[in-house]
Chains A and B, each alone.
Chain A
Amino acid sequence: MRPDTVAPEADRNPAPHDETVPHTHPEPGVDPHPPLAQAGRALRVGIGGPVGSGKTALVAALCRAFAGELRLGVVTNDIYTTEDADFLKRAGVLDPARIRAVETGCCPHTAIRDDIGANLDAVDELAEAVGPLDLVLIESGGDNLTATFSRGLVDRQIFVVDVAGGDKVPRKGGPGVTSADLLVINKTDLAPMVGADLAVMDRDARARRGDLPTVFLSIVGDPAAGRVADWIRHELAHHAALHPVAARGGPA
């Protein structure tokens, strides 16, 4: 059975472990993540998800959260020109020199997964323009549930879905929901209005994602996206512990 066809009920009443199917378990005590960035370069975190799920608002919230704490840069990928970058610049949450826009020619998923050169250029240009960075957030263009980032572009990725997209989205799965390092279920303040059951979303997300973390978020109630920012801080600490050269901090 494919992992994304497992019925959510299986999580509540786990079936006996089927030892006839060849499978492996993660080694206890071994970090299952791929290796982090080399010393001296910023941690790169991708933020993807469907159109309208709140990716740009999350990036703005994280800019607020890390202002004065980290040397931050942002790369946006738009389907149309530089709309998201312009929004962030207007929002005044980050120095415009720290924001770069990549144009994607109708193919937002290609620019973050199959052909990442323009995004890598943008990351390089940011470092050339404003100096060393601790963290670069790379926002994908709004796409669909299959859009994920190349590991050649980002070290960690966050997938953002929203409750108004329907509480069945986590059950539908797809690579973003199942494999992102952090799943953000956004706009929880809208749940009563759209009849979304957060308990169902939580249960389905756990069934899909195993031990990978999921965060419920309402930027209306938490304008600095506290739990997402804390997760990034944790990943940064991990990064810094492995690569002390990259650890020197300083205000953005």
Chain B
Amino acid sequence: MTTSSLLLLVADGRFPAGAHAHSGGLEAAVAAGRVTDLATLEAFLAGRLATAGLVGAAFAAAAHRAVTSGSAVRGSTLALLDAELDARTAAPALRTVSRRQGRALLRAGRAIWPEASFDDLPATPGGAHQPLVLGLLCAAAGLSRAETATVAVHGTVTGAASAAVRLLGLDPYRVQALLVGLAGRCDGIAAAAARAADDPPERPAAAAAPLADIHAEAHATWEVRLFAS
């Protein structure tokens, strides 16, 4: 029971880790006319699940594994994971966003679980990538590796869906129904990501969406935007 409540708390969009300021690439896709309604939103979210969702969850699960497996080399494993995730994030703007979100999540983690150790995270300039911090935070909360992957996948779709409600004025009930329809796929991606954590750090998925990378770079240069990414 305790673990279930903690899972809900960590996955809640109200968890104070700065997610509200990000659209997960949706604002740029809306401006490009690629997401205009529920059907195109569903296609966008499905694409996001298969790329950023899978990769982020795999690295969150791998970071969770690194700090819960009793390994003596967890610092170097996390540093390697950070570098591998950097290599899988082609757009410099998205690397910056991921590290910024990692810092926000780390601030929350240190404040909420002051006894937990986050000191194994690499001292990368700008901070560690968000999925790594998420893996350690979920470990601090006592969540399992599978739950950690579920939290990561959940955040990938709910953030963008919430941004769609705000940007396009879509019916919030229909958007929620769409997320319900995607739940099975989310669970499948999370399970695959949790399994991938057993692979060596250089093996996890490298799925990417070049158009999303290009949109992210353009978005970062906009003079007027509602979301930070």
**Residues in chain A within 8 A of chain B (CB atoms):** 79-81, 83, 102-107, 110-111, 114-118, 120-121
Given pairs A79-B226, A80-B226, A81-B222, 9 additional interface contacts (CB within 8 A): A80-B224, A81-B224, A103-B228, A105-B228, A106-B227, A115-B14, A115-B18, A115-B19, A117-B16
Docked-complex contact B23 and A105, CB < 8 angstroms: yes
User: How far is A81 from B21 in the complex, measured between Cα atoms in Å?
Assistant: 11
Q: A79-B226, A117-B107, A121-B104 are in contact. Are A107 and B21 (CB under 8 A)?
A: yes
- Summarize B's interface: helix, strand, loop or mixed: loop
Residue pairs across A and B with CB atoms within 8 Å: the count is 58
Docked-complex contact B228 and A114, CB < 8 angstroms: no
CB distance from B23 to the nearest CB of A (A): 7
Docked-complex contact A115 and B16, CB < 8 angstroms: yes
Docked-complex contact B107 and A121, CB < 8 angstroms: yes
Residues of B within 8 A of A117 (CB): 16-18, 103-104, 107-108
The 3 closest A-B pairs by CB, nearest first: A105-B21, A117-B104, A115-B16
CB distance from B111 to the nearest CB of A (A): 9
Over the window 157-191 of chain B, the binary record of Cβ atoms lying under 8 Å from chain A Cβ atoms (1 yes, 0 no) is 00000010011000000000000000000000000
Interface size on B, as a range, is: 20 to 34
User: How far is A117 from B224 in the complex, measured between Cα atoms in Å?
Assistant: 22
Docked-complex contact A106 and B226, CB < 8 angstroms: yes
User: How far is A83 from B23 in the complex, measured between Cα atoms in Å?
Assistant: 20
Residue from B18, B223, B228 with most neighbouring chain A CB atoms (10 Å) = B18
| Partner of B223 from A81, A107, A115, A120 at Cβ < 8 Å | A81
CB distance from A78 to the nearest CB of B (A): 10
User: How far is A118 from B227 in the complex, measured between Cα atoms in Å?
Assistant: 13
User: How far is A111 from B20 in the complex, measured between Cα atoms in Å?
Assistant: 8
Residues of B within 8 A of A111 (CB): 20-21
Residues of A within 8 A of B88 (CB): none
Residue B22 at the chain A interface, CB threshold 8 Å: yes
- 24 A-B residue pairs with Cβ-Cβ distance under 8 Å, sorted by A, are A79-B226, A80-B224, A80-B225, A80-B226, A81-B223, A81-B224, A81-B225, A103-B21, A103-B225, A103-B228, A104-B20, A105-B22, A105-B23, A105-B163, A106-B166, A106-B227, A111-B21, A114-B14, A114-B16, A115-B16, A116-B16, A117-B16, A118-B18, A121-B100
Name the residue of chain A whose CB is nearest to the CB of B16: A115
